[in-house]
Amino acid sequence: MTSTWELVHGHVEAALADATRASITPDAVASTLISEAVRILKGHRTLDDVRAELQFAIENLQDRDYEFMRP
C-alpha cells in the first residue's frame, strides 16, 4: 500500500521534472504548491487550524538536533 508521502512525493518529483522542461524554476513550483496546499486545507479545516499548520511549518524550517528523540 502506498503512503500519503510516497503518493505526493511522486507527483511533486514529476511536477519538478515537467517544470524543468518548461523552464519553470523549482521556487515557482514550490510557491504554487504552497498556494494549492492552503486552498485544499481551507476546504476542509478552519482558518485557525490552517494558520496553526502553517505556523508549525514555519517554526520548524530550521533543522534541529533533538537530543531527547535519540535512542
Helices of type H across the chain: 4-21, 26-42, 47-59
pLDDT at res. 67? 63
pTM: 0.79
Q: For 26-55, what is each residue's pLDDT tens digit?
A: 999 999 999 999 999 999 999 999 999 999
| pLDDT at position 37 | 97
Task: Tell me what pLDDT residue 65 has.
Answer: 67
Q: Is the pLDDT of residue 10 over 90?
A: yes
Q: What is the Cα–Cα distance from 34 to 63, expressed in whole angstroms?
A: 20
